[in-house]
Amino acid sequence: MTRASVLVAVSFAAAVSAWQPLCVKHSAQLRSRVPSMLAGVAWTDLTEDAKRLTDAQIARTVALVAGASGVLCTQLPVADASSEGTAAFPSPACFVVDGDGCPLMPLASAEALSNLQQSKHATFYARAPRGGAAASSVVTLIGQVSEVSEADVEDDQLRVVSELAGATAEHMAAQPWVRLVPSRVHVFDAVRGVEAWVPPAEYADAEPNPLAEASATLLSKMNTQHAAALRRFAAVYAGVPSDDLAAAELLAVDQMGFDLRVQLGPSAPASLMRAGFKMAPGNEEEGTSLFMKLFQEAYERQTGTMPSV
């Protein structure tokens, strides 16, 4: 059984407005690492073990959790008095991701299918929802589309796609299915405000964030039920009095650690901070337990009751 994640189809209008422009052209001049215009805030490591996911892991995580947005962009032939060539034709798609991170999807659009008869080259976009793993981050896959036979679609893949598409399994199975194998992979990490080109082999081999499914619950729980403890943790490790720290918000969590947005004073600008886990949690329960231990340690540091080693 391959590892699969299901992404929900979005309306055409929402898909078009989600990305502008909708087509990324292959260019040898594109750099392997592109600084983002949004990356204006410096990061601070709160702990010495503040390691981060790789760009490939973030890209795979986006593909895993992007249940609100998926768009296949095929090439529409254009020939009129003013132009000649191709134009981007976006169509919404519900899809699963195979073990290599390749999107596998049924196509309801006859125009998209017609375009693929002319050119197999296409671009696929997936965007992670807010409030969860890799929140609002985007992965772009550029590559070749191939047909997939009904026998190659696993029963669980067909079942989850039909449930989320609101159609019967028979109806979804009757549609033509395709797979996009990326030759170029681009990720925009909205949490860090940076973007990068990821080698396709690294993308295929990367393991997504194992806390992806639990992230939304962990973020909500820590930012509401344990907001005071989170603020104390940020204040203790940032070296400021708790009363002076205006706000602390948990932005993201993964097996290596977590990201915080912290305001060190009422008039201070927001600071972005990273803290590491001493051991890797694999689920929501383990993640919650690690946060509780960190919060207890911060309390002991603040009150001077931490036992000596």
Domain of 137: which CATH number?
2.30.110.10
Q: What is the mean pLDDT of residues 139-149?
A: 96
Of 65, 145, 54, the C-alpha closest to 97 is: 65
Total domains in the chain come to: 2
How far apart are the C-alpha atoms of 116 and 289, rounded to whole Å? 49
pLDDT at residue number 245: 86
- Among 188, 208, 228, the domain-final residue is 208
- Running DSSP on this structure, what letter comes out for residue 74? E
List the domain range (segments joined by +) for residue 234.
214-303
pLDDT at residue number 70: 86
- Max avg pLDDT among 105-109, 142-146, 150-154: 142-146
Least confident piece of the model among 244-248, 264-268, 300-304: 264-268
Same-domain status, 188 and 280: no
Residue 162 lies inside a defined structural domain of this protein? yes
pLDDT at residue number 300: 93
Same-domain status, 194 and 264: no
Residue 7: enclosing H or E segment and its boundaries? strand 6-7
Least confident piece of the model among 42-46, 156-160, 176-180, 210-214: 42-46
By three-state DSSP, how is residue 250 classified? strand
Encoded amino acid at 28, one letter: A
Residues of the chain with pLDDT > 70, as a percent, come to 83
In the predicted model, what is the mean pLDDT of the chain? Answer: 82
Residue pLDDT, tens place only, 169-227: 999 999 999 999 999 999 999 988 889 999 999 999 999 999 999 999 999 999 999 99
Same-domain status, 166 and 295: no
Of 217, 212, 245, 244, the C-alpha closest to 230 is: 245
How far apart are the C-alpha atoms of 93 and 13, rounded to whole Å? 13
Least confident piece of the model among 22-36, 94-108, 209-223, 267-281: 22-36
